[in-house]
Chain A
Amino acid sequence: QVQLQESGPGLVKPSQTLSLTCTVSGGSISSTSYYWSWIRQPAGKGLEWIGRIYISGSTNYNPSLKSRVTISVDASKKQFSLNLSSVTAADTAVYYCAREGLTTGNFDYWGQGTLVTVSS
């Protein structure tokens, strides 16, 4: 059974960089059959796709966040990571990592989510 677990600071100051890591277990992060993605959800609001990475290192990002987002992968640690720079209160949300099938938009496994609050 594939499991994903987000980790990282729960509180980030405005203008700083939000950094999260997703650890994958029960399946291979090196599989060529999947992307590894980040999605977020502000409290009481809908889901927002942030971006994805393929094991080759190829990335795709939401155009509205592209200038501030970097997603990377470390296969040796079975982890992929999210960096979101210059954060504001609008970036406060639950952040999920998920496995996405090559049939795009097919998120079949999700982490439990981690709340990140942007506040001074």
Chain B
Amino acid sequence: QSALTQPRSVSGSPGQSVTISCTGTSSDVGAYNYVSWYQQHPGKAPKLMLYDVTKRPSGVPDRFSGSKSGNTASLTISGLQAEDEADYYCCSYAGSYTLIFGGGTKVTVL
């Protein structure tokens, strides 16, 4: 299992939209609709932002949305805010009851 591929960093100005990609294979991202996304601020535990590709847990703003096409899942943050500056990780079911994470993307709010 190799980590899912994410861009090292993305950036945007307040109010803009940014999209983070998460590329896997036909054995993980492409095979199952079990992709989740986590936000992690420095020194803190990750926070669940999306699961099952598009579902938002209670309390997560609807500015966060997810999608998937083929072997690539995406997280879009619309109306970027200063507090969205953090690291983001994708996670996918990889079959045989195993999980794989992405390498992480640093989102910078300019």
Interface, chain A (partner B; CB < 8 A): 45-49, 60-64, 96, 101, 103-108, 110-113
Instruction: Say yes or no: is B64 at the interface (Cβ < 8 Å to chain A).
Output: no
Inter-chain CA distance A45–B3, complex, in Å, is 12
Q: Chain B 34-73, CB within 8 Å of chain A: the 1/0 string? A: 1110100000011110011000010000000000000000
Range class of the B interface residue count: 20 to 34
Which of A47, A101, A106 meets B89, CB within 8 Å? A47
Inter-chain CA distance A47–B6, complex, in Å, is 13
Q: Is the CB of A46 within 8 A of B3?
A: yes
Residues of A within 8 A of B96 (CB): 60, 63
Residues of B within 8 A of A105 (CB): 34-36, 51, 91-93, 99
Contacts A101-B51, A105-B51, A107-B46: A47 and B98 contacting too (C-beta < 8 A)? no
- Beyond the given A105-B36, A105-B99, please list 19 additional residue pairs across the A-B interface where CB-CB is below 8 A: A45-B104, A46-B102, A46-B104, A47-B101, A49-B100, A60-B97, A60-B98, A64-B1, A103-B34, A105-B93, A106-B48, A106-B51, A107-B38, A107-B48, A107-B91, A108-B48, A108-B57, A110-B45, A111-B45
Q: Sample 11 A-B pairs with CB under 8 A, ordered by A number.
A: A46-B102, A47-B46, A49-B98, A60-B96, A104-B99, A105-B92, A105-B99, A107-B36, A107-B38, A107-B48, A108-B57
Instruction: Say yes or no: is B103 at the interface (Cβ < 8 Å to chain A).
Output: yes
Nearest residue, chain A, Cβ from B32: A104
CB distance from B101 to the nearest CB of A (A): 4
Inter-chain CA distance A96–B101, complex, in Å, is 14
Inter-chain CA distance A96–B104, complex, in Å, is 17
